[in-house]
Amino acid sequence: MYRHLISFNLLIFYSFSLPDQFQVNCPLSCRCNKTVIECRNNRFHGTNFFLRMRPEAFPDLDTIIVTGNLLGDIAKSNLFGMNVTHKSVSLVNLSNDRILSFDHQTFQALPALEYFYLSNNDVQSVGIDPFRWNQRLRLLDLTNMFSRTVNEMERPKLLSRLFANSQHNFVDLQELILNDNSLISIEENTFCRVIMIGLIRLHLSGNKLKSFIYNDECLSSLELLDLSNNHITSMPMQMWLDFPSLTAVDISTNPLYCDCALTSFVSKIADSGFTPLNKVNFIEEELFKLLVIETKLREFKGKTICDGPPSRYGQNPFEVTNVNCSTTNYRFLYFAIFIFALLVTFITVRIYRNKIKFNIPFIAGYHKLNAGESTAPQFV
């Protein structure tokens, strides 16, 4: 009897100690369960470990986190293997993976992808329209994506290739993050290659933009624009008309030139209920998708200072009180009136002097006249 009891207990012990199907098929040194595969800081070289992520073994897989590895060139083939499709994966994090290149074949196994993080990589080349299979994208994070070997003139071109000739509308794409890419410009139609009718948040912080050039027929739904920490000196008031849905903007940490144009723009923020965005942090904690937006007006104002003119250097544009644009306009009007009055006076004097000349015989200067010829007025 005791022998049977011991055998039964051993059977229970071994049944609980055996790994489940998710652990058996989990890539080495990774953590896996029914819905999540997580491989952090494993220093994997290449992409062979992705082949173990089979949809047959993980039919309910929702989240893939692969960070801190050395993936290299992942272009020219499906990342998960030929003819493999993960129909339920909605979040993929491939940040900090030393990715050098990707194209339209790389992510074709992810048709249900919604949240895609590709930040902090070393991308040197990008195929045309690499996200053509990911039509359900809601958030795309490309922060600090480019390799240092890619020169600043080439980066706007690479960026434009991401959606060039796209056959899809990306109607669900709401958030596009392009922070810290050393962008000196953005091609005007970059965001018009596809109809991003749902894009409401655009992040361009930490670049080298001197201005924000855009096509006024695009981004009509934009609500949040982050241009902080760039090289911008002024902002056009026209932007409020071109982006009627805009409710949050950040121009802090820029060399702002506080003239009438900028103070009018800032007044629009302060007086019309617009929310100045201080920073936006995306926090991935225990696989939850959290968006934390801090909208602290005081902090925003503290980071927004004038770089010129010299009389306003270091001042807060929200607190500048010695810029009276209407007075400046009146001074210009007064100056124009003064010049006009001088001109009228000058013409009047000339006419009056000419009338005096009509009554005086005056031949000085007419040296070709004969002495005997009578002198007649030259103007009637």
CATH of the domain at 242: 3.80.10.10
Q: Is residue 5 part of a domain?
A: no
Query: Are 320 and 359 part of one and the same domain?
Result: no
Q: How many domains does the chain have?
A: 2
Q: Do 150 and 97 share a structural domain?
A: yes
**Residue 349 in domain:** yes
What is the model's pTM?
Answer: 0.75
Asked whether residue 150 falls in the same domain as residue 250, the answer is yes
Q: DSSP 3-state assignment of 77?
A: coil
Return the SS3 of 225.
Answer: strand
Last residue of a domain, one of 326, 346, 362: 326
Given CA atoms 188, 192, 197, 200 in this order, what sign does their dihedral have? negative
Residues 347 and 309 in one domain: no
Residues 343 and 310 grouped into a single domain: no
Strands 256-257 and 201-203: unpaired
Domain identity same for 76 and 174: yes
- Asked whether residue 361 is domain-assigned, the answer is yes
280 and 378, same structural domain? no
In this prediction, residue 91 carries a pLDDT of: 98
Q: Where are the alpha helices (DSSP H) in the chain?
A: 2-17, 21-24, 155-161, 238-242, 260-271, 297-303, 325-358
Domain boundary among the residues 303, 326, 349 is at 326
Name the one residue in this structure whose structure tokens are 């600090």: 144
pLDDT at 56: 95
Cα 258 to Cα 25, 251, 299, 308, distances in angstroms: 61, 13, 19, 6
Is 221 in the same domain as 255?
Answer: yes
Domain range enclosing 29: 23-326
State whether 88 and 201 are in the same domain: yes
Please say which residue of 300, 326, 352 terminates a domain.
326
Q: Is 29 left (phi over 0), alpha (psi -120 to 50) or beta?
A: left
Cα 4 to Cα 192: distance, rounded to the nearest angstrom:
74
Distance CA 326, CA 328 (A): 5
Tell me, yes or no, whether 319 and 342 share the same domain: no
Report if residue 28 sits inside a domain.
Answer: yes
Contacts of 367 (CB under 8 A, 6+ apart): none
Residue 12: inside a domain, yes or no?
no
Claim to verify: residue 292 and residue 379 sit in the same structural domain:
no
**CA dist., res. 315 & res. 305, Å (int):** 5
Q: Is residue 3 part of a domain?
A: no
Q: Can you give the pLDDT at residue 344?
A: 75
159 and 202, same domain (yes or no): yes
What is the model's pLDDT at position 114? 97
7 located within any domain = no
Output the CA torsion sign for 208, 210, 216, 220. positive
Tens digit of pLDDT at every position of the chain (380 positions): 545 555 545 444 444 444 577 888 899 999 999 999 999 999 999 999 999 999 999 999 999 999 999 999 999 999 999 999 999 999 999 999 999 999 999 999 999 999 999 999 999 999 999 999 999 999 999 999 999 999 999 999 999 888 876 666 788 899 999 999 999 999 888 887 665 567 899 999 999 999 998 887 788 889 999 999 999 998 888 888 888 888 888 999 999 888 887 877 777 766 655 555 544 444 444 344 344 444 444 455 557 888 788 878 877 777 776 556 654 444 556 677 778 777 877 777 677 766 655 454 444 444 444 544 443 444 43
332 inside domain: no
| Start-to-end C-alpha separation, the chain | 145
